[in-house]
Amino acid sequence: MKYCSQCGHELTVQIPPGDHLPRRVCGHCGTIHYQNPKLVVGCVSEWDGKILLCRRAIEPRKGYWTLPAGFMENGETTEQAAMREAAEEALAEVEIIAPFALVSVPHISQVHLMFRGRLKDGRYGTGAESLDSVLTEEQAIPWAEIAFPSVHYTLECFLEDRRRRHFGFHSTVWRKPSAA
Amino acid sequence: MKYCSQCGHELTVQIPPGDHLPRRVCGHCGTIHYQNPKLVVGCVSEWDGKILLCRRAIEPRKGYWTLPAGFMENGETTEQAAMREAAEEALAEVEIIAPFALVSVPHISQVHLMFRGRLKDGRYGTGAESLDSVLTEEQAIPWAEIAFPSVHYTLECFLEDRRRRHFGFHSTVWRKPSAA
């Protein structure tokens, strides 16, 4: 971010009065340009005990398997975002049951929020951002080819809770692996 | 948003190829400027059965009472954001216990996430963005002067769960009241 999105002038980096962090500030119109984490919202959805997974057609992690999830849009609720992503990536109509998992990803300034859900009628397909979609048995989950740690975490918590017949709400932090 | 923050040229509004929503796009450098909801993170914190509240010194809702909460910063975890806000607004060191409430606020493209916590040593004060801070008994909560519906909801859920001696995770949507 180099230019003011309001007036087009060059920005400088400074700590605004009363603030404690450096921000990009426009010396011309005075706008302070805050940058904040993005929410990625998705859903672990069941049908007949099987779980809906999609194989990514786009980077990052093209070819790897994920739960339908993506950036939340302005004007949506978190539940609407989760349902939209299932519709886009897996052509599936999903009913949201409850929030299920929260994963902070501070090194890329993201927060991943996953719901539990169920397919409305068992129908699904392959959306434009997917190479493939499946309803998979627990035994057939491709653990070595899961796209993201937050998806791995959500699936693990989900299967554990399902065995216990008690679903909670889970949270963790996904930290960047340190270069050894 | 009128100008490209990467190159300073004027933006146009169009639906990029493969997308389904109008975005601000730079015809000069090709950057697509996505706008996404912001996360507001806070905490309902106890000390000796009392709850920490702050009276807002800034708009919106100046003079009204809130749980310490604010916009999450890049590079933070959600827990760090909640602890930082308690430190800034109430000069309190807070220990995070668990995620507690999630409120979508689609008409202003925000998501409010509240944790449960406890003060580390019972000390608190009045931060720069507050007019006052209190540790309040349940009976003394100023219900008519609560700043935001998400704070009201979080306090209600918290007191209800505390009575039951079982804390869950709660979620709701705060919709703009329709003009009657």
Architecture in CATH of A38-173: Alpha-Beta Complex (3.90)
Q: Bridge-partner residues for B173, per DSSP?
A: B104
Chain region(s) in chain A for CATH 3.90.79.10 = 38-173
Give the residue-averaged pLDDT of B145-162: 98
Rounded CA separation B75/B38 (Å): 14
Confidence of residue B180 (pLDDT cuts 50, 70, 90): low
Rounded CA separation B47/B172 (Å): 26
For residue B20, pLDDT over 90 is answered with no
Chain A contact for B16 (CB, 8 A cutoff): no
Instruction: Dump pLDDT digits (tens) for B37-82.
Output: 999 999 999 999 999 999 999 999 999 999 999 999 999 999 999 9
Chain region(s) in chain B for CATH 2.20.70.10 = 1-35
Q: Among A34, A73, A110, A174, which would you mutate to test the B interface (most chain B Cβ atoms within 10 Å of its Cβ)?
A: A73
Inspect the interface and report whether the beta carbons of A77 and B10 lie closer than 8 Å: no
Architecture in CATH of B1-35: Single Sheet (2.20)
Rounded CA separation B136/A110 (Å): 34
Task: Spell B17-33 as b/e; 16+ CB within 10 A means b.
Answer: eeeeeebbbbeeeebee
Per-residue model confidence (pLDDT) at position A179: 65
Structure tokens at B119: 């003060």
Average pLDDT, chain A: 96
**Shortest CB distance from B35 goes to which of A6, A21, A74?**
A74
Task: Spell B101-125 as b/e; 16+ CB within 10 A means b.
Answer: bbbbbbeebbbbbbbbbbbeeeebe
